[in-house]
Structures are given as C-alpha cells and as structure tokens.
C-alpha cells in the first residue's frame, strides 16, 4: 500500500493572509485546497505514520519550533523556516507491552500504541515528553540543544519513567499538562479504567498533590481543555494556575447536564497537615457561561468548552480568555466564541461559595461564617502573610475547602454575550487563535477558527454600536487534501505565516 494513499495525512500549512482595507465590507473569499496550494503560501506536509491522530502539543517560542505529537512519533518543526525538513523521533511502546495491551482486550480501536500527549520544556536544553505507552503511560527526556540553530531533537536514553498522573492511559481521553519551575501540573485520568480524574502535581522536589479522589464535588467526569499561569499580586506566593475544562454538572446545580468550568490552585500549595494530606487546599472552581438570549427571551447556552486562546493585555494580571463553545443537544447545532476577563473570573472566586444542605437539596449561596484564611487564598500571599504554608491552615479551613470547591455565581463573558455566534450551520467551530491588527482608527481583533469541516476561517470583529460587535468572515480556507469528514478527535492544524498578518501562535 502506498503510504501517501493512507487516509492519515497531516497537513501543515503556511498561509500568508493579505491585509485588505476594512473600510468597505470585503467579499468573502473561499479558498479550496487546490487554490490554496496554487497561491503558493502554504506547504503541504505528509508523514507516513499511518494514523490521523496529530496534535500540536507545544509552541516553543524560545527556539522557534512547534512540536507535534502523533501515534508513536514526535515531530519538531522549524517555525522560522517551514521549508526545513522536520526532525522526527520514533518512540513506540515496547513490543512486550503492546502484546499485553492486546491481550487485555484493548487495541480494538488501535489503542495499543504510544500516543504522544505531552511535551513541555524542562529547562534551556531539555524537553519532557509523555505518551500513553499502550495503556501504560511513559515519559522521557528529550534533548533539543542550546539554540535553535543546533536543530537537534533526540531522546535521552535511559531517561524513561512512569507517566502515571502525567499522561492518560486511553488515547481518547483529553488531557492538560504544563511544567512550571520544573514541576508538572496535569489534568488527567490517573488510572487504567479512566474513572479517577485529577489535577495532579508531580516531579521536582515537591511532594505529589492532587484533587480529592472520587469526589464528584471536585471533579465530575472532566474533559480538560487548557490552562494558564497568572501572577496575581506582587507576592510570588500568590501565583496561580487556572485550569479550563468541561464536566458533568453537579447534583443540586441548576442548569444543563454538562457545564464548562474554570478552576484554580495556588502553585505553592503543599496540601493539608491532618486532613487533605497530599491534596490541594486551594482548589476552587466556577462555571463559565456562554449563552444568548433570543428575541423571545429564551436563553440558548453553549455548554461545551472546546478550545481556548489566552490573549495577554497591557495588564499582566488580567489576560483575556477566548473560548470556543458548542451546544450539547442535537436539536440545535451551534457554536459561539465568548471572551472572559480574568478580573471577572477573580470576582467570582472572591464571591459566595456554593452550598448544599444535603442530598436532594438545591445549591444555594453559602451565608454562614467563612473561615480564615479565606479558602482559595494562597499561604504567604498578599492576604495571608502570616501563614507560610498550607500545612498550617486550620482544620476549619480544610473542612470548608473539601466540601465547598464550587463558587455560587458563574463567570459571564464580556458584555454578557458571545463575541461571535454560529447558528443554523452544518458545521461547528472546534479551535481558536486570536490576533490584533493595527488600523488607522485603532486595533481590530481577528479570529482564526478551525471548523469540523476541515477549514479555517479568518473572522474580523468590527464594532457595531456600543458594546456590540459584528464578525465578518473574510476568508475560509480548506486545509486538507481530502475533504472527507474528519473525526472530531483529530484536530485540524494550521500553521500561519507569522510575518504575514502578524499572527502569533502563543
Ligand atoms: C510569509 O509572509 C511574508 C510577508 O508577507 C512573505 O514575504 C513570505 O514569502 C511568506 N512566506 C511564505 C512561505 O509564504
Ligand atoms: C496501519 O495501522 C493499522 C491499525 O493499527 C494496521 O492494521 C495496518 O497494518 C497499518 N498499516 C501499515 C501500512 O502499517
Ligand atoms: C536540564 O535538565 C536535564 C535533566 O534534569 C539535565 O541533565 C540538564 O543538565 C539540564 N540542563 C540545564 C541547562 O540546566
């Protein structure tokens, strides 16, 4: 069989979008794959990896590289020169492990392989990578050289270790992972059966810390989407990790069956002393709402967070979070882009906690006495200078944290409405990147949206009165050679010409 004939080709495209004048409404341009290639602004990549499972795992700003994970392969691509041949690491699961996996009855859906799901810089010269390892997650060190000119990418032999709590077992499960100061934070299913989901911290000198096990109040079948680190005050102790995911809603919580969430933890959390030992003492979460009120007053909510993009602003403490959301039901198919300000997120975490009197009760706002330090505050931080470790938190604090991880109010997007709405379409948005374009009268926001029909749309956001905006789809580009419907699990990749419109992949 010809490798190129396999329905498993990865496409990475380099596009240079031309800047048009925005004064008049530009005509919408649709570029077919063929036209795109003829425009000579894209490069087609095809790897004979015999899989359609490809994902961008990390954009390496230091060395101007992009790392792509696949089944048994890791690819390093040069963002500075797309014509340079990528560097490839072949890292399959051990044959004995594959055999065990097949015998355990997995493998029906091609799962007994090493699906690469994590790659993060550890320090200047080394990367840390993890894969599913045929249902036995494994991690390894990778050497990437000192400078981008070195152009190296190889596994450090003998550095393999278990990836439990760092990488999922099941390639179908979505995960989140980030290394901060040599410590890995992962949103992951920790066990073989996929029933124990956690936000897990491992590696480095610190002891492992995780979310409470099998407690649906903390996590309820989560699907992790992404994360961001924020310095919240002039105190380093206040540094927090925000984690975005969707999960089943809790008993007693009003609203839909599935909800989108933002959770946060203090990076310096050391767990409790007598209770919550080895567990986060700072874990809190809130609901993210992305909805529209129709002319008839009926609210349509987009409850499935699919992808995020973090946009830094002048104010380092207040980045914007762009989220792509889709609807849950099959009745109405739609997607929306909502933008959240971290200031609004913070206000919700400073607000009332959700409280449930007991089984069968509705959630209400907690009105009793809140212990000190306020749950969610970081030890040694701005508001808790006197207590230097979470191990010194009182039992009343820990008891409260354990039973009240959810905030009562939800986080609403800027202007309380989506920035962009897609309804009555035969496709949905699946991924997002955001750029701002300078113009004569200020800056415009440009969204690049991946769709589940294998295209990327470039949408310009224009003001349309106070607090109202309008999205104009300037271009839509087919980025796959074969425009057959692609499985939703295989995201669409597009690498844009960084120098063109000033599109930053970060
Ligand atoms: C990227 O864009 C720049 C500026 O528009 C252009 O000069 C360059 O040729 C483009 N590169 C590719 C590979 O299209
Ligand atoms: C591609 O993968 C499938 C499923 O694992 C396997 O059955 C097939 O033999 C592979 N084909 C090639 C050419 O390796
Ligand atoms: C990076 O980490 C690796 C593994 O711990 C170590 O061997 C290497 O010396 C470190 N490099 C630098 C520049 O610190």
Q: What secondary structure does DSSP assign to 196-234, as a single string?
A: -EEEEEESSSSPPEEPPTT-TTT-SS-EEEEEEEE--SS
Tokens 């330090």 correspond to 373
Residue 501 has pLDDT above 60, yes or no: no
Q: 45 CA to middle of ligand 1, Å?
A: 17
Residue 350 has pLDDT above 60, yes or no: yes
- Distance, in Å, from the CA atom of 21 to the CA atom of 8, rounded to the nearest integer, reads 38
Q: Is the CB of 468 under 6 A from ligand 2?
A: no
| Residue 38, helix vs strand vs coil | helix
> What number is the average pLDDT over the span 162-180?
96
Structure confidence by residue, pLDDT tens digits, 53-99: 888 899 888 888 989 999 999 999 888 887 788 999 999 999 999 99
Structure confidence by residue, pLDDT tens digits, 290-303: 999 888 888 889 99
For residue 330, the model assigns a pLDDT of 64
Separation of first and last alpha carbons in the chain: 38
Name the residue among 234, 229, 267, 230 with its Cα closest to residue 382.
234
Residue 4 has pLDDT above 90, yes or no: no
Quote the tokens at residue 120: 């993060």
Residue % of the chain over a pLDDT of 70:
89
* Residue among 120, 122, 124, 126 whose CB has most ligand 3 atoms within 8 A, to mutate: 126
Which pLDDT band holds residue 107 (cuts at 50, 70, 90)? low
Q: 50 CA to middle of ligand 2, Å?
A: 6
For residue 415, the model assigns a pLDDT of 92
For residue 489, the model assigns a pLDDT of 34
Residue 496 has pLDDT above 50, yes or no: no
Average pLDDT, the chain: 85
Q: What's this model's pTM, rounded to 2 decimal places?
A: 0.89
Closest residue by Cα to atom 6, ligand 3, is: 126
For residue 164, the model assigns a pLDDT of 96
CA 270, distance to chain mean position in Å, is: 25
Residue 478 has pLDDT above 50, yes or no: yes
Tokens 């996590």 correspond to 219
Structure confidence by residue, pLDDT tens digits, 194-208: 999 999 999 988 789
- Distance, in Å, from the CA atom of 456 to the CA atom of 452, rounded to the nearest integer, reads 9
Q: Is the CB of 50 under 6 A from ligand 2?
A: yes
Structure confidence by residue, pLDDT tens digits, 206-255: 789 999 999 999 999 999 999 999 999 999 999 999 999 999 999 888 88
Burial zone of 10 (CB within 10 Å; 0-12 exposed, 13-18 middle, 19+ buried) = buried
For residue 82, the model assigns a pLDDT of 76
For residue 492, the model assigns a pLDDT of 36
For residue 7, the model assigns a pLDDT of 26
Q: Indicate which ligand has the atom closest to the C-alpha of 497.
A: 1
């Amino acid at each position: 069989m010809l490798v190129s004939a396999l329905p498993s080709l990865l496409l990475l495209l380099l596009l240079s979008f031309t800047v048009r004048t925005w004064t008049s409404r530009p005509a919408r341009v649709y570029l077919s794959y063929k036209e795109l290639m003829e425009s000579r602004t894209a490069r087609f990549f095809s790897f004979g990896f015999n899989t359609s499972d490809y994902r961008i795992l990390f954009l390496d700003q230091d060395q101007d590289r992009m790392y792509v994970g696949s089944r048994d392969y890791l690819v390093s691509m040069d963002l500075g020169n797309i014509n340079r041949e990528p560097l490839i690491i072949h890292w399959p699961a051990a044959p004995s492990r594959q055999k065990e996996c097949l015998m355990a009855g997995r493998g029906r859906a091609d799962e007994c392989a090493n699906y690469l799901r994590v790659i993060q810089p550890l320090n200047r010269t080394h990367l840390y990578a993890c894969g599913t390892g045929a249902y036995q997650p494994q991690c390894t060190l990778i050497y990437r050289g000192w400078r981008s000119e070195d152009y190296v990418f190889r596994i450090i032999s003998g550095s393999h270790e278990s990836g439990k709590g760092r990488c999922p077992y099941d390639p179908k499960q979505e995960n989140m992972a980030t290394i901060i100061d040599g410590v890995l934070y992962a949103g992951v299913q920790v066990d073989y059966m996929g029933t124990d989901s956690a936000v897990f911290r491992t590696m480095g000198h610190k002891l492992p810390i995780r979310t409470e096990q099998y407690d649906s109040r903390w996590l309820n079948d989560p699907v992790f989407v992404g994360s961001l680190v924020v310095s919240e005050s002039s105190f380093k102790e206040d540094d927090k990790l925000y984690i975005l995911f969707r999960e089943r809603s809790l008993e007693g919580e009003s609203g839909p069956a599935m909800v989108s969430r933002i959770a946060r933890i203090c990076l310096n959390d050391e767990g409790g002393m007598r209770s919550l030992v080895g567990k986060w003492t700072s874990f809190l979460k809130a609901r993210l709402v992305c909805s529209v009120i129709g002319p008839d007053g009926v609210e349509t909510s987009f409850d499935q967070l699919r992808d995020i993009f973090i946009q830094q602003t002048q104010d380092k403490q207040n980045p914007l979070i762009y989220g792509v959301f889709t609807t849950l039901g099959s009745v109405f198919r739609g997607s929306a882009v909502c933008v959240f300000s971290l200031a609004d997120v913070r206000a919700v975490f400073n607000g009332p906690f959700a409280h449930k009197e007991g089984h069968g009760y509705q959630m209400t706002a907690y009105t009793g006495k809140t212990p000190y330090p306020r749950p969610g505050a970081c030890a040694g931080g701005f508001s808790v200078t006197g207590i230097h470790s979470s191990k010194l938190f009182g039992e009343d604090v820990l008891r409260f944290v354990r039973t009240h991880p959810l905030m009562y109010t939800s986080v609403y997007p800027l202007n309380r409405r989506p920035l962009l709405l897609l309804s009555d379409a035969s496709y949905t948005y699946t991924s997002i990147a955001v750029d701002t374009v300078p113009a004569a009268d200020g800056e415009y926001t440009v969204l690049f949206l991946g769709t589940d029909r294998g295209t990327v749309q470039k949408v310009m956001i224009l003001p349309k009165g106070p607090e109202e905006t309008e999205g104009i789809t300037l271009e839509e580009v087919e980025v796959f050679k074969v425009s057959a419907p692609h499985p939703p699990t295989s995201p669409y990749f597009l690498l844009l010409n960084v120098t063109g419109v000033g599109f930053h992949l970060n």
